[in-house]
Structure 1
Amino acid sequence: MTDLHRLTPVRTAKYHIGQVVRHRIFPFRGVIFDVDPEFGNTEEWYASIPEEIRPRRDQPFYHLFAENDESEYVAYVSEQNLLVDDNPAPIRHPQVEEVFVR
């Protein structure tokens, strides 16, 4: 008899490294450069999110080279808050060219 029933199910990320996505609520977009299979940031970071919009921890979280109308930055976003971005404009974050080939 095996312990297959005891194995944790493998979560598959919906989005992939290099994909351009946008936030479902907030006005920013970015390119994914890393994925955590579940929440992997600090408790302080998690607690800083207002409880009414705080995402579940048990889902993939994505590291993005992000941009909005005013600046470029690194964002950490739950899968439930991302959508595919159909905007053909390239992401202008300065680190994109250090990691990706256009």
Structure 2
Amino acid sequence: MVRMDAKFTIGQVTRHRVYDLRGVVFDVDLSFSEQEGWRAITMDARLDKKQPFYYLLAECGDSSYIAYVPEQNLVADASGEPVKHPDIGELFDVDDEGSYRYRGRIFQ
């Protein structure tokens, strides 16, 4: 049975439980997407593929990229620090409090 809810919302800043990865959620799959490009990244047999997976505008050190992360590996980021991804302005407006308001989807 596939869960039909997601813990994190579009525009929310999250952090990986283990790795030094932070990002802003810009899309959610309610269960694992069988897209070939993401298959190698998520082949860990311990991952429950029937959980939400999140697309993040992510940063790790000086690198920025799009990450596809299962919900079990994410926690809310309470640092208040902005995410420094070059595509933030394409998808989000950032208000004075640092909240990300989603404008629309540009990635396919």
Coarse TM-score class (shorter-chain normalised) = 0.7 to 0.9
Distance in 2 of aligned mates of 1:9 and 1:72: 31
The Cα of 1:27 is off from its aligned counterpart by: 0.9
Over 3 Å counting, the alpha-carbon distance change for 1:66 and 1:101 in structure 2 is same
Number of the residue aligned with 1:39: 32
Does the 8 A contact of 2:22 with 2:58 survive in 1?
yes
The Cα of 1:42 is off from its aligned counterpart by: 3.0
Number of the residue aligned with 2:69: 77
Alignment of 1:16-35 (within 5 A): 16-35=9-28
The Cα of 1:55 is off from its aligned counterpart by: 1.4
Determine if the alignment matches structure 1 residue 13 to structure 2 residue 19.
no
Mean CA deviation greater in 41-50 or 65-74 = 41-50
TM-score (norm 1): 0.81
Q: Which one of 75, 80, 87 corresponds to residue 79 of structure 2?
A: 87
Over 3 Å counting, the alpha-carbon distance change for 1:48 and 1:65 in structure 2 is closer
Q: Secondary structure at the match of 1:101?
A: strand
In structure 1, the gaps of 5 or more residues are 1-7
In structure 2, the gaps of 5 or more residues are 95-108
- Normalized per residue, the structure richer in helix is 1
Distance in 2 of aligned mates of 1:10 and 1:49: 18
2:44 counterpart letter in structure 1: E
Determine if the alignment matches structure 1 residue 101 to structure 2 residue 96.
no
Number of the residue aligned with 1:57: 49
2:69 counterpart letter in structure 1: V
TM-score (norm 2): 0.76
